[in-house]
A and B are shown apart, each in its own frame.
Chain A
């Protein structure tokens, strides 16, 4: 698989630094209900789907979630990149900064990295055609 297209799926406009906002938005990147979690779930669930519709939908949506990841990462990156250190500290991102500087990382709003421990990939979806 893959073709990569060098553009965002949806445009991003960040008017100025805001690490406080970045700390909350970042969970859409690396949190349990963020785009990375979604893409991993769908792209892995598709293998054991019984119908071609389900395989197709999970593939198409799973890959679209990767595009969404890029949008959220662009937002977070731009909110942090020009922020003064004092602002980063005030936002409670000083611990994050110590490990990751101004880069993006896959964490939730509390800085906990993505956890795949409880992903719902059971392999035998119950279905019945009426």
Chain B
């Protein structure tokens, strides 16, 4: 089962440096869904769940 990667990690990461994985263009939501979710990129949809507070939940 192939997992589609939505981002790219920078090569040769160093200690004590902060990095942001580079987003890659994949799917977009419809304008209707996009406005509702606050983003047109499904990999950026991160709804807030109060019960997850304090848990290091990662996005999907």
Query: Footprint of B on A, CB under 8 Å?
Result: 10, 130
Contact = CB atoms under 8 A, between A and B. Distances in A.
Contacts of A10: 35, 38
A130 B10 contact: yes
Contacts, number: 5
Grouping DSSP codes into helix (H, G, I), strand (E, B) and loop, the A interface class, with mixed when no group exceeds half, is loop
For the side of the interface on B, what is the size category? under 10
B35 A130 contact: no
B54 to A, nearest CB: 19
Nearest to B19: A130
A60 to B, nearest CB: 15
Contacts of B12: 130
B60 to A, nearest CB: 24
Nearest to B36: A10
